Structure 1
Amino acid sequence: MKSEECSRNIRDRFSKYYSRFNQKGNGKIYIGLLMATLIIGITVFFYMNGVGYIVKIDGKEVGIVRNKEDLNKIVDALETSLKEKYNTDIVFDERIIFESTKARDEELSKPENLEKNLQKFLDFKVKAYSIKVDNKIIASLPKKEDTKKVLEAVKKVYVDEKKEYDKIYFVEKVKVDEIKVATNQLKTYEDAIKIISQGTEKEELYEVQEGENFWTIAEKNKLSVDDLMIANPSIDPEKLQIKQKISLVVAKPLLTVATVEKEKYEEDIPYESKFEETNRLYKGDKKIKAKGQVGKKEILAEVVRYNGTEISKKTLEEKVVKKPKTEIVLKGTKIPPPDKSTGAFNNPTRGVLTSRFGPRWGKTHRGVDIAAKTGTPVKAVTTGIVIFSGWKGNYGNCVIINNGNGIQTLYAHNNKLLVKKGEKVTKGQVISLVGSTGNTTGPHVHFEVKKNGVLVNPLKYVKY
Structure 2
Amino acid sequence: MQDSTNKFTKIRKHTFNKFKTAFKKTALTVFAVGAISFAADVSAHANTEKLTTVYYVYVDKQYIGTVTDRTTIDGLIDTKLKEAQSSNENLKLSLNSEVTYVPEQVFHASFETNNTEIAEEVMKEIKVHADASALIIDGNPVAYVQNSEEANEIIKKLKLKYVSEEELNAVEAIKASDNSTLPPLKENETRILDVELSKEVSIKTEKIEPAKILSVEDAVKLLEKGSLEEVKYKVKEGDVLGGIAHAHNLKVKQLLDLNAGLTEDSLLQIGQELNVTILKPFIHVIINKEYFTNEVIPFEKEVVENANMFKGDTKVKQEGKDGKRAATYRISVQNGQVITKEIVKEEILEQPVKHIVVKGTKVIPSRGEGSFIWPTVGGYVSSHVGYRWGRMHKGIDIARPSNRTIKAADNGVVVSAGYQGSFGNKIVIDHKNGYRTIYAHLSSISVSPGQVVSKGSKIGVMGSTGNSTGVHLHFELYKNGALQNPLNYIR
Cα deviation, residue 223, structure 1: 2.4
Cα deviation, residue 265, structure 1: 5.1
Is the 2:93–2:128 contact (alpha carbons within 8 Å) kept by the matching residues of 1?
no
Cα deviation, residue 74, structure 1: 2.3
- Sequence identity, in percent? 20
Residue 263 in structure 1 maps to residue 291 in structure 2: yes
Cα deviation, residue 285, structure 1: 9.8
Cα deviation, residue 121, structure 1: 0.8
Taking the aligned partners of 1:197 and 1:210, their CA distance within structure 2 comes to: 34
Structure 1 length as normaliser, TM-score?
0.51
Question: Once structures 1 and 2 are overlaid, which stretch shifts more, 196-205 or 312-321?
Answer: 312-321
SS at match of 2:192: coil
Structure 1 residues 159 and 184: CA distance shift in structure 2, 3 A: same
Give the aligned partner of residue 71 of structure 1: 73
For residues 247-279 of structure 1, give each alpha carbon's deviation from its aligned partner in whole angstroms, at most 9, with x where no partner exists. 222222222322111224565533444658899
Which of 138, 141, 154 is 1:137 aligned to? 141
Structure 1 residues 318 and 234: CA distance shift in structure 2, 3 A: farther
Which of 240, 243, 252 is 2:280 aligned to? 252
Which of 304, 325, 329 is 2:332 aligned to? 304
Within 5 Å, give how 1:174-213 maps onto structure 2: 174-209=201-236, 212-213=239-240
Cα deviation, residue 289, structure 1: 12
Q: Which amino acid aligns with 1:340?
A: I
Give the aligned partner of residue 159 of structure 1: 163
Q: Which amino acid aligns with 1:153?
A: K
SS at match of 2:202: strand
Is the 1:128–1:180 contact (alpha carbons within 8 Å) kept by the matching residues of 2?
yes
Structure 2 length as normaliser, TM-score?
0.49
Taking the aligned partners of 1:425 and 1:320, their CA distance within structure 2 comes to: 58
For residues 196-234 of structure 1, give each alpha carbon's deviation from its aligned partner in whole angstroms, at most 9, with x where no partner exists. 212334531223345644322212323222443454467
Taking the aligned partners of 2:122 and 2:314, their CA distance within structure 1 comes to: 89
For residues 378-400 of structure 1, give each alpha carbon's deviation from its aligned partner in whole angstroms, at most 9, with x where no partner exists. xxxx97664699xxxxxxxxxxx
> Which protein has the larger Cα radius of gyration, Structure 1 or Structure 2?
2
For residues 75-121 of structure 1, give each alpha carbon's deviation from its aligned partner in whole angstroms, at most 9, with x where no partner exists. 12222322343423323233333555759xx97655xx777644421
Is the 2:314–2:357 contact (alpha carbons within 8 Å) kept by the matching residues of 1?
no
Structure 1 residues 423 and 88: CA distance shift in structure 2, 3 A: farther
Is the 1:293–1:327 contact (alpha carbons within 8 Å) kept by the matching residues of 2?
no
User: What is the total number of aligned residue pairs between the two structures?
Assistant: 310
Residue 216 in structure 1 maps to residue 243 in structure 2: yes
Taking the aligned partners of 2:238 and 2:322, their CA distance within structure 1 comes to: 45
Within 5 Å, give how 1:273-284 maps onto structure 2: 273=301, 275=303
Within 5 Å, give how 1:1-150 maps onto structure 2: 53=55, 55-57=57-59, 59=62, 61=64, 64=67, 66=69, 68-86=70-88, 87-97=91-101, 102=108, 109=115, 117-150=121-154
Taking the aligned partners of 1:140 and 1:55, their CA distance within structure 2 comes to: 33
Question: Once structures 1 and 2 are overlaid, which stretch shifts more, 52-61 or 194-203?
Answer: 52-61
Question: Once structures 1 and 2 are overlaid, which stretch shifts more, 133-142 or 87-96?
Answer: 87-96
Taking the aligned partners of 1:325 and 1:426, their CA distance within structure 2 comes to: 46
Q: Which amino acid aligns with 1:148?
A: N
Taking the aligned partners of 1:71 and 1:424, their CA distance within structure 2 comes to: 98
Structure 1 residues 303 and 193: CA distance shift in structure 2, 3 A: same
Is the 1:126–1:182 contact (alpha carbons within 8 Å) kept by the matching residues of 2?
yes
Taking the aligned partners of 2:319 and 2:165, their CA distance within structure 1 comes to: 43
Q: Please, which runs of 5 or more residues in structure 2 have no aligned partner?
A: 1-48, 168-190, 384-395, 404-486
Cα deviation, residue 153, structure 1: 1.8
